Amino acid sequence: MNTVPYYWRFSAFYLLYFGSLGALLPYWGLYLQALGFDAQAIGELIAIILATKIIAPNIWGWIADHTGRHIALVRVTSLSTVLCFLGMFVGHSYLWLALVSFAYSFFWNAALPQFEATTMAHLGAQAHRYSHIRLWGSIGFIITVMLFGWLFQYVSVTLLPTLLIGLFVAIWLASWLVPEKATAQALVSTDSFYQVIKRPEVIALFLVCFLMQTSHGPYYTFYSIYLEDYGYSRDLIGQLWALGVIAEVGVFLVMHRWLKCYRLSRLLIISLGLTSGRWLLIGFYVESLPVLLFAQLLHAASYGMYHGVAIHLIRQCFADRHLGRSQALYSSLGFGAGGAVGSLVSGYTWESAGAQVSYLWAAVICLVAVWISWRWVGCIQESQRVTKSEYNE
């Protein structure tokens, strides 16, 4: 087995970055609720954080690909995140929080795609080992979601911004541990970036990514609030979030083996189908803890399997010199546009139609994505990147 270069340095960044996500996603809605905002306002404010992923990663991805300075931009955006987030301590009005959320997330959301590009560039022919590094991000998420769930049993959730600023500073410091790496010049094809994204199968892939993340809207925005309304403690809510990510870690540990045995498009379809079932279980069986436990185990499919497959499919479609922009497009269309639309729509449906309807439309969206994957994504030529020789250990 070849040694992954700078394994612990990359792992430290993922640990801290997704640790901040583990603090933000489960508890930001509760923080906004503690400030007195209703479901519609909460959905809108969280949508702003996700919406900046539509623009920011593409701007910074273009700069990174044209300068070759991926990790330098990670450092700049990480420091800018810290400076902008300090505005959270100035005021709590809707407009002010919207402005600060836009400013800090514009930089925070730009850092990860460029770090992903740097990771893939350093891995080179060992790209299948990406999941072994990325699993440390999941571990970071587990640590913060469980620790903060326990902490907020004893202190006010309004302490959250103070804890987040500490994590953002740590992310910036960790970015200095990783050296710059020029992307390889070997190409998947001689097509330009814009020629590639016009292909039907590539359009379908990004559409599936958009739909998958849109379906997560009710979960990321209201899952904690939903459970608290049914009497679950914040400590238990944190443990349920953590259980999902523990399942995700399990997938990351075996993902490199699955890639040798199964077509990526088949794994993508499985992950979408299981995600649809997960939303139905959460929406209609919230009072049953055993069902919720099983539903959280399905996070292994809805994020772990899905993300691992998507990263590899995108890497197959684009030349190495387009790594920055391709990862940025994946982030902006999926986690950005999809996440923002999902958060916004769920905010309105949660207020007007209730939780079950919100999770029902999320499940239906996943089934639409299953059909698109079956019809078009399978056309991607997997032999371009994933070959058995690449996985020799």
| Residue linked to tokens 């905002």 | 37
| Pair of tokens at residue 221 | 């925005």
DSSP state of 4: P
Q: Which residue has the higher pLDDT, 53 or 21?
A: 21
Please check the confidence at residue 183 and state whether its pLDDT lies above 60.
no
The answer to whether residues 233 and 153 touch, using CB atoms and an 8 Å cutoff, is yes
- Where do we find the tokens 């922009």? 325
Answer yes or no: are the C-beta atoms of 27 and 171 closer than 8 Å.
Answer: no
CA 349 to chain centre: 23
Give the residue-averaged pLDDT of 292-299: 98
Q: Which of 325, 279, 257, 372 is nearest to 110 (CA)?
A: 325
Provide the pLDDT for residue 390. Answer: 40
pLDDT tier, 384 (very low <50, low <70, confident <90, very high otherwise): very low
Pairwise pLDDT comparison (271 vs 331), residue with the higher score: 271
Question: For 44-66, what is the mean pLDDT?
Answer: 87
pLDDT at 188: 45
The C-alpha angle with vertex 292 and arms to 287 and 296, in degrees rounded to 5, equals: 160
Domains identified in the chain and CATH numbers: 10-391 (1.20.1250.20)
Residues of the chain with pLDDT > 70, as a percent, come to 91
Question: What is the pLDDT, as a whole number, of residue 388?
Answer: 40
pLDDT in tens, 107-160: 999 899 889 888 878 887 777 678 889 889 989 999 999 999 999 999 999 999
pLDDT recorded at residue 379 = 72
